[in-house]
Structure 1
Amino acid sequence: MNPKMQELRKKAMALPLLPGVYIMHDKSGEIIYIGKAKTLKNRVSQYFGSQNNHAEKVRRMVDNVDDFEYIITDSEFEALILECSLIKQHTPKYNILLKDDKGYSYIRVSSGDWGRLSYVLQKKDDGAQYIGPYKSSYYVKSAVEEANKIFMLPTCNRRFPQDFRKGRPCLNYHIKQCMAPCTGRVKLKDYKESLAQALDFLKGGSSNSIKQLTAQMEEAAENLEFERAARIRDKINAVKKMGEKQKVVANKVLDEDVIASFTDDGKTCFQVFRFEGGRLFDRESFIFDSGDSESEYEEFLLGYYTIRNDVPKNIALDRNFDGIEAIAQWLSEKRGNKVNVTVPKRGEQAQLVSMCRSNAAEALAQKKGATVREYGVLEELKETLGLEKLPEYIESYDISNLAGTENVAGMIVYKNGKPLKSAYKKFKIKGFEGQDDYASMAEVISRRFDEYYKAEDKDEGFGKLPDLILLDGGKGQVAAVKQVLERMNISVPLFGMVKDDKHRTRAVTGDGGEIAISSKRALFTFLSKMQDEVHRFAIGYHHARRSKNTFKSSLTNIDGVGEVRAKSLLKYFRTIDNISKADLTELENAPKMTKDSALAVYRYFHAEDESQTGAL
């Protein structure tokens, strides 16, 4: 914690209740953060109060602040302009700093008779044909991918004609996305025609391409080239289908930017959809360490439109924030006329914002190794249970026994919506004999968090605090475990999973009673799978212990074989079957065995043989 915290807070509390810009310095005097405030005293004093409500990024910044200065302005808008200028001048390490490093993209047509279409970020002197440059890499990538599919051009690494007939055609041929020149049955004339059509499509757009293809189809039909006419017809249909797909996304869309964000576990992803001419022509993703969400949103807009020369007339956002009017005024001045900054709540615009936010979640999920579907069900779980944060790391527990014998428990872990089997743990109940599921669950949780306090590494294993604990059971188990968590000062959301008469998860129970889960929701499937998994894991451990002890007890029935010797035999031979098949010499050579005990074990498993042969 910053040793100057109280001194800094005292200085912040003396600030005026006026708009302005504040500048944070570290010990060396370097500027590490610049921000603007509608009311300087209120904004700056928040940094030097309780650190519990700050994100990790903000805490790190505050820990490094040695002093701050401020500049008073006449309005929040003037503060915004000054903030923008100072950030560009000093590039502080804790501000969101965007760089215009996208560069330009090109459509590349490789040299040779069997040319290939691809998109590249750099133009080289390699004899290939380059079309461009284009500012939107998303547009170039999407357009080239569509052209290759529609005109059935190869995208594999095979070389033609060198690789003719050297292997079977790939999946793209079977799903009608490649004409498969690798078979050696495609005429060079037909291939070049498809490549030329693809280039016309990329240069002229879908409507112009359809006109040209239609003329070519009619010409082929007049010349009685019906197979060629049919191929061109299929290409026309594919181009039309792609156009209809775009209309679904961009129907009645204004020329605008749509911006949305998704925050989770210390990371925020901003997604930008750019619409122009009634279609999505570019999209961008930016992922940062998350700080104060409201100032971060404003910072992002400031940074994004600082590096862009063009500002659209309309910008749709997924959230409102305190400085939105100042941002809108700044953007209007940058554009030269009014910019409409809105937060749509219904209609097509709201759907676009929602789609943009889903893509932000997907981008963040992919970075973390999850899918948007898995994040979706975690979002649903968060909303259903009223959690403060997304439950990325979930621990679930179940007890298993048979009439109070071999009392065990299993702990499973779900990370990012998927089982993390390397983190599964088994527990043998040690505190008592007999059957008491409540006491068993309390013991397991107590031992688990004893290990938490002992662990040096707080990022994995027992050293990591879960975001949520789910018990296989109802309010009795929840009440027993809640007492343990309170006693051990562990603050983790706790719920029980309740099954119906068909052994399916019908509800989740906590302090406030049961929360019913509809069987038609993705959350129902997710919780049912988790409850089945923890039950399988616990009962599997229970069966393993019962089997082992059954084997051990059968060995201890042999004269001269106690528990220690039985355990040693099982460890050495691995199974009872191996022990029964061992000869006398092998038994004598086993650890902790004597000649007499080896003979007793041998006779125990070969009694029938001895009675028939009279041996020994």
Structure 2
Amino acid sequence: MNPKMSELRKKAMALPLLPGVYIMHGKGGEIIYIGKAKALKNRVSQYFGSQNNHPEKVRRMVDNVDHFEYIITDSEFEALILECSLIKQHTPKYNILLKDDKGYSYIRVGEGDWGKISYVLQKSDDGAQYIGPYKSSYYVKSAVEEANKIFMLPTCNRKFPQDFRKARPCLNYHIKQCMAPCTGRVKKADYREAVSQALDFLKGGSSNSVKLLTEQMEQAAENLEFERAAKIRDRIAAVKKMGDKQKVVANKVLDEDVVAGFSNDGKICFQVFRFEGGRLFDRESFIFEIGDEAADLEEFLLRYYTLRSDVPKNIALYREYDGIEDLSRWLSEKRGNKVNITVPQRGEQAQLVAMCRSNAAEALAQQKGATVREYSVLEELRQLLGLENIPEYIESYDISNLAGTENVAGMIVYKNGKPLKSAYRKFKIKGFEGQDDYASMAEVLQRRFEEYYNAEDSDEGFGKLPDLILLDGGKGQVAAVREVFDRMNISVPLFGMVKDDKHRTRAVTGEGGEIAINSRRQVFTFLSKMQDEVHRFAIGYHHARRKKNTFKSSLTQIDGVGEVRAKALLKYFRTIDNISKADLEELEQAPKMTKDCALAVYRYFNPENEN
């Protein structure tokens, strides 16, 4: 903790209840954070009170504060303008900082009669034609991919005409996304025409491209070139179809940014969709450590539009925050006319925001090695169980025995919605003999968390605290384990997975009773698979134990034969039956056998020949 905490708090409590900007300095005098406030005293004093409610990012910043200063302004709007200016000037390490380093992109047209169209980030002196530069790499990439599909141009690494007839055409030819010049059957003039039409599409957009193609089709028909006219007709249909797909995404959106965020496990991702003329022409993704989500959103928007020279007429956000009116005023002054900021709740705009937020979740999931589908089911599970955070690390337990014999348990782990088999563990019940599933489950979880306390400063294996524990069983198992948790001071969400009479997962049970999951398809499937997996793992260990004991009860009962010798015998003879039928000489020749052991094994299976 910061040794100057009490001093800083005393100074903060003496601040006026006026709007302004506060500037936090580190031990070397450097500026480490700049913020604005409607009431300086209230905002700044929050930093130097209890640290329990602060996220990790804020705690680290407070620990490094040596002193602070402040500037009073006439209004919160003036504070916002001053804050933007100071952050741009000083770039403090704990503020959200965006770099205006987005490079330019180009459309590249390869040289020669068989040149391909591609997108690149830099121009090269290679004889190719370059169109651009474009600010949006997303737009260039998407447009080039569309053009190549519509006009059936190759995107492979083959070079023409060098690679004519050297290999069969790839899958793109068979799904009608490439004319396959590699076959050597495409005329040079037809290929150059397709490239020219694709460039018209890229330069002029779909509507202009349709107009030019229609003129070419009519001209070909007048010249009785019906085969060429039919090809152009198909390309017009493909261009229109691609345009229709864009209309489905943004039917009425003309000039707008859509901004949405998704947070989890100390990180937040902001996604920006940029629409122009009814078309999604750019998208950007930014991931930061999370502080307070509303404050982070405001700070992100200020940084983002500080760097943007162009401001859209409309901005749609995924949530409200207190400073929206000031942001709208600031952006309106920057744009020169009114900027509308909304938080849509229904209709097409709300769908766009939801799509944007889903992409933010996907970006965050990919950074953690998961997919948006896996994250969405974990989010649904979090909501269903009332958890504070998404359960990224889940442990599940099951007991297996046969009439109280070979009492064992299995522990499986799911990380980011997928099995983490390297973390699976097996337990042999040691505390008692006989069948008692409640006591077995309690023993296993006690041993698991004894290992947790022994694994100091470790975040792997038993040293990692799970986000959720699921037991195969009902309220009895949950109650037994809850006693263990209370005794060991363990605070981990705990639930049981309840099966129906057909051994299918039907509900989750906790201290508040059962929670039905049948109506939640994703969660139902996820929990059913997990329950099946933990049952498979536990019963597999149980069968292995039984097999080992059966093995012990036969060969290892013979004098001089231990587990190593018994395994060697089974490997050599393959079955117990073959061992029992082997003569003395064959037994003596087996690996790891002595004459005395061979004689003992022979007499064990042939007691009638002992004389």
TM normalised by structure 1 equals 0.94
3-state SS in 2 of match to 1:302: helix
Distance in 2 (alpha carbons) for counterparts of 1:181 and 1:158: 10
Distance in 1 (alpha carbons) for counterparts of 2:282 and 2:553: 71
Is 1:186 aligned with 2:189?
no
- 2-11 or 57-66, which moves further after superposition? 2-11
3-state SS in 1 of match to 2:49: coil
Is 1:567 aligned with 2:563?
yes
Structure 1 position 557, deviation (Å): 3.6
1:230 maps to what in 2?
230
Distance in 1 (alpha carbons) for counterparts of 2:224 and 2:276: 42
Structure 1 position 463, deviation (Å): 1.1
* Residue pairs, 1:521-600, within 5 angstroms: 521-558=521-558, 560-561=559-560, 565-570=561-566, 572=568, 575=571, 577-578=573-574, 583-585=586-588, 590=592, 595-600=595-600
Change (3 A) 1:586 1:49: farther
Provide, for residues 425-471 of structure 1, a one-character-per-residue CA deviation record: whole Å limited to 9, x for no partner.
Answer: 11111111111111111111111111111114532211111111111
Distance in 1 (alpha carbons) for counterparts of 2:155 and 2:120: 14
Structure 1 position 228, deviation (Å): 2.8
Structure 1 position 380, deviation (Å): 0.6
Change (3 A) 1:199 1:24: same
Provide, for residues 3-45 of structure 1, a one-character-per-residue CA deviation record: whole Å limited to 9, x for no partner.
Answer: 2223322322222222221111111111111111112222222
* Residue pairs, 1:378-527, within 5 angstroms: 378-518=378-518, 521-527=521-527
> Does the 8 Å CA contact 1:22/1:34 hold for their aligned counterparts?
yes
Structure 1, unpaired ranges of 5+: none
2:167 maps to what in 1?
167
Structure 1 position 579, deviation (Å): 7.7
What letter corresponds to residue 299 of structure 1 in structure 2? E
Distance in 2 (alpha carbons) for counterparts of 1:462 and 1:78: 53
Distance in 1 (alpha carbons) for counterparts of 2:358 and 2:365: 10
Work out the number of aligned pairs and report it.
Answer: 604
Distance in 2 (alpha carbons) for counterparts of 1:574 and 1:97: 67
> Does the 8 Å CA contact 2:556/2:563 hold for their aligned counterparts?
no
Distance in 1 (alpha carbons) for counterparts of 2:410 and 2:505: 18
1:157 maps to what in 2?
157
3-state SS in 1 of match to 2:562: helix
Distance in 2 (alpha carbons) for counterparts of 1:21 and 1:412: 51
3-state SS in 1 of match to 2:390: coil
What letter corresponds to residue 37 of structure 1 in structure 2? A
3-state SS in 2 of match to 1:556: helix
Structure 2, unpaired ranges of 5+: 580-585
Detail structure 1 runs of 4+ shifted over 3 Å in the superposition: 218-227, 570-587, 602-605
3-state SS in 2 of match to 1:397: strand
Change (3 A) 1:112 1:602: farther
Structure 1 position 596, deviation (Å): 2.4
> Does the 8 Å CA contact 2:556/2:566 hold for their aligned counterparts?
no
> Does the 8 Å CA contact 1:23/1:68 hold for their aligned counterparts?
yes
2:51 maps to what in 1?
51
Is 1:76 aligned with 2:76?
yes
2:326 maps to what in 1?
326
1:19 maps to what in 2?
19
What letter corresponds to residue 569 of structure 1 in structure 2? R
Identity among equivalent pairs (%): 82
1:350 maps to what in 2?
350
- 179-188 or 405-414, which moves further after superposition? 179-188
Provide, for residues 530-584 of structure 1, a one-character-per-residue CA deviation record: whole Å limited to 9, x for no partner.
Answer: 11111111111111111111111112343x15xxx43232455675954856843
> Does the 8 Å CA contact 1:551/1:576 hold for their aligned counterparts?
no
What letter corresponds to residue 413 of structure 1 in structure 2? V
2:582 maps to what in 1?
none
Distance in 2 (alpha carbons) for counterparts of 1:599 and 1:314: 93
> Does the 8 Å CA contact 1:569/1:579 hold for their aligned counterparts?
no
2:317 maps to what in 1?
317
3-state SS in 1 of match to 2:412: strand
Structure 1 position 246, deviation (Å): 0.6
Distance in 2 (alpha carbons) for counterparts of 1:494 and 1:53: 23
Distance in 2 (alpha carbons) for counterparts of 1:267 and 1:520: 27
Is 1:209 aligned with 2:209?
yes
1:278 maps to what in 2?
278
Distance in 1 (alpha carbons) for counterparts of 2:27 and 2:108: 52
3-state SS in 1 of match to 2:288: strand
Provide, for residues 258-314 of structure 1, a one-character-per-residue CA deviation record: whole Å limited to 9, x for no partner.
Answer: 100011111111000111112211111111122221221111011000000111121
3-state SS in 2 of match to 1:524: helix
Q: Over aligned residue pairs, what C-alpha RMSD do you find?
A: 2.0
Provide, for residues 337-395 of structure 1, a one-character-per-residue CA deviation record: whole Å limited to 9, x for no partner.
Answer: 22111111111111111111011111111121111111111111011111100111111
> Does the 8 Å CA contact 1:519/1:525 hold for their aligned counterparts?
no
- 44-53 or 443-452, which moves further after superposition? 44-53
> Does the 8 Å CA contact 2:426/2:538 hold for their aligned counterparts?
yes
Distance in 2 (alpha carbons) for counterparts of 1:97 and 1:181: 48
Structure 1 position 47, deviation (Å): 1.8
* Residue pairs, 1:233-312, within 5 angstroms: 233-312=233-312
Distance in 2 (alpha carbons) for counterparts of 1:402 and 1:575: 28
> Does the 8 Å CA contact 2:261/2:360 hold for their aligned counterparts?
yes
> Does the 8 Å CA contact 1:153/1:177 hold for their aligned counterparts?
yes
Provide, for residues 155-181 of structure 1, a one-character-per-residue CA deviation record: whole Å limited to 9, x for no partner.
Answer: 111111111222222111111111111
Distance in 1 (alpha carbons) for counterparts of 2:266 and 2:569: 51
Distance in 1 (alpha carbons) for counterparts of 2:277 and 2:562: 81
3-state SS in 1 of match to 2:94: coil
Change (3 A) 1:234 1:568: same
1:120 maps to what in 2?
120
3-state SS in 2 of match to 1:283: strand
3-state SS in 2 of match to 1:413: strand
> Does the 8 Å CA contact 1:471/1:478 hold for their aligned counterparts?
yes
Change (3 A) 1:488 1:169: same
Distance in 1 (alpha carbons) for counterparts of 2:30 and 2:543: 64
What letter corresponds to residue 108 of structure 2 in structure 1? R
What letter corresponds to residue 504 of structure 2 in structure 1? R
> Does the 8 Å CA contact 2:555/2:566 hold for their aligned counterparts?
no
Provide, for residues 467-490 of structure 1, a one-character-per-residue CA deviation record: whole Å limited to 9, x for no partner.
Answer: 111111111111111111121111
Distance in 2 (alpha carbons) for counterparts of 1:554 and 1:545: 15
